[in-house]
A and B are shown apart, each in its own frame.
Chain A
Amino acid sequence: MKINGKIFKYGDDVNTDVIFPGKYTYLLMSNEEMAKHALEDLDPDFSEKCSEGDIIIAGKNFGCGSSREQAAIAIRAAGCKAIIAKSFARIFYRNCLNNGLFALTNSKIQEVAEIGNNIDIDLSAGKINTGGMEFDFHPPSKEVFGILEAGGLIPYTKMKLSGG
């Protein structure tokens, strides 16, 4: 499994309120509608600029604050397929993978990554390439691979249980 796209870059402590404002959390919304509001209070143009496969690179404690699952869903629905951050708030991290959004902890790539540049992630090989530099990571387990490919934990489990 490979992810290829352009880089969006943000700082530390990006909280779930700026990712998906609380005022929307009790409105019933489709994934497409949620996508329009992704990162609304941090980068209002994100949803428009983001194409399928793009990648966010950020600082520490990404996704802190409320445990709302919509934060991860909105970013994924906008097209973004991976977030690489120095660290993640724990529940947000789980929400990402469980909704088909690859989340990876790495503290070195921030120095090299430049906004708008191309980035390649090879999940099976555990390699990232950007700006002429290569970074290694521990490839996800078979299970997490499956979850990412199926688009989330519930569809993955359903597929598996029905013998798919």
Chain B
Amino acid sequence: MSSTIAEKILAKKAGLNEVESGQIVTVEPDVVLSHDNSAAIIGHFKKLEVDRVAIPERMAIILDHVVPAAKESDAINHQIIRNFVREQRIPNFFDVGRGICHQVLPEEGLYGPGSLVLGADSHTTTHGAFGAFAAGIGRSEVAVLWATGKLWLKVPESFKFNLIGKLPKWITPKDLTLTIMGEIRADGAIYKCVEFCGEGLHNMSIAGRMVLSNLSAEMGAKAGICHPDDKTIQWLKSRTDRQFEPVLPDDDAEYEGELTFDLSEVKASIAMPHTVDNFELARNLCDIELNQVLIGTCTNGRIEDLHLAAQVLKGRKISSNLRLLVFPASREIYIEASRDGTLAALAESGATIMNPGCGPCLGAHQGVMAPGEITLSTANRNFKGRMGCNKAEIYLGSPSTAAASAITGHITDPAEFI
């Protein structure tokens, strides 16, 4: 039988020779991810009345959602988690300031192509960028994984995105993904594993692939896997000594469908309020005046995103009508951007440089909005109320569009600054 990547990885992790889509299997993931929600998961874990977690080295806990703690209740949550980590001797614990979980995990080399990553966060799909099968699950499910190391999964059908050509200057994988979502809509890939492949993908950096996999969650996908190649292997070599066996689909594997996108045709794109598939070109939205611009999050807080923003902003000033907030996705990225002058260039333009973490993306702190305000964000969700105020509006765009718009004060196609 011929198999897709999802079928191959899930068969291996279930200890079976082969599986087919629709089948339910019991798998043993390589990494089980959780973040500040670990405090709630500890509550579920205690209901199971076991003393110790099954495989502490397969767990990864990263504090990133509300860091540093904004309120006493956040601080208590962090404290509960730190105590549990100590008590259970969990080696892969990353405290306040290390970065966003979806950036820290690959930086620490905790998995690779062919791995299975499950996490109590919907954007766990990000890890598909390295050829892993990675999916978000519920909190009680993570508690069960802590206790047993095993969980059931349904083998998904697969859908293929064939990417051809090369993105134009200033146009990013974010623009591409917003374009794809505008076309297939927010429920276009429900329960499916989407695979990204083709020369367009292989031309793309690892950071760009992480954007594709990250936003797969917003299409309803269970996982979003980029076909691994030499770039994947080279990137991981600098992070870990572990050997991985890249998994690729069989030539005659069955797909539910296939779409081809020509990268050279992608333009600066925006998702308008309040859904990720509410697509429009940036150049058609220049009458949208902004109060805040956010560059960062698990979608677009990587070094090349900051470089792109700095290229646009260097030697220019941001509009006096808005705030520009910059959140490097991890401490590593913060240090690199600090050493190469990127952070200085951004700060000189008027940006406020914040600590690594999720920032205001989920509306908890560090830049929540007031009624009537509009933010342009490089994040992945623009749902009503997402940034802490249900009378505010969020537009989603790329780091270059965000930087260009911060200068003019309204949504701006970065082409204007070439």
Contacts and interface: CB of A to CB of B under 8 A. Distances in A.
A163 to B, nearest CB: 12
A23 interface: no
Interface residues of A, number: 29
A91 B49 CA distance: 26
Contacts, number: 70
B25 A154 contact: no
A147 B152 contact: yes
Interface string B29-63: 00000000000000010011110000000000000
Contact of B140 (A140, A144, A154, A162): A154
A100 to B, nearest CB: 13
B150 to A, nearest CB: 8
A16 interface: no
Q: Is the interface of A mostly helix, strand, loop or mixed?
A: helix
Contacts of A67: 138
B138 A95 contact: yes
Contact of B147 (A64, A89, A90, A161): A161
A8 interface: no
Q: Select the residue from A64, A93, A138 with max chain B CB neighbours within 10 A.
A: A138
A129 B190 CA distance: 28
Interface string A47-89: 0000000000000010010010100000000000000000111
A95 B44 CA distance: 15
25 contacts: A61-B187, A61-B190, A64-B187, A69-B138, A87-B190, A87-B191, A89-B191, A90-B220, A90-B222, A91-B138, A98-B141, A105-B22, A141-B26, A142-B26, A143-B24, A143-B150, A147-B152, A153-B141, A154-B44, A154-B47, A154-B140, A157-B144, A157-B148, A158-B49, A161-B48
Q: Select the residue from A88, A90, A91, A158 with max chain B CB neighbours within 10 A.
A: A90
A97 interface: yes
Given A138-B22, A147-B152, A161-B147, A153 B140 contact: yes
A158 B44 CA distance: 11
A32 B26 CA distance: 31
B26 to A, nearest CB: 4
Interface in A119-164: 138, 140-144, 147, 153-154, 157-158, 160-162
Interface of B: 20, 22-26, 44, 47-50, 137-138, 140-141, 143-144, 147-148, 150, 152, 154, 187, 190-191, 220, 222
Interface of A: 61, 64, 67, 69, 87-91, 93-95, 97-98, 105, 138, 140-144, 147, 153-154, 157-158, 160-162
A98 B22 contact: no
Contacts of A141: 23-26, 152
B153 to A, nearest CB: 9
Contacts of B220: 89-90
Contacts of B187: 61, 64
A144 B22 contact: no
Contacts of A158: 47-49
Q: Select the residue from B25, B48, B148 with max chain A CB neighbours within 10 A.
A: B48
Contacts of A61: 187, 190
Contacts of B143: 154
Contacts of B148: 157, 160-161
B138 A90 contact: no
Nearest to B144: A157
A144 B24 contact: yes
Contacts of B49: 158, 161-162
Contacts of A144: 24, 152
A130 B98 CA distance: 57
A84 B141 CA distance: 23
B243 to A, nearest CB: 30
A143 B44 contact: no
Nearest to A157: B144
B11 to A, nearest CB: 13
A51 B152 CA distance: 29
A143 B147 contact: no
A158 B45 CA distance: 10
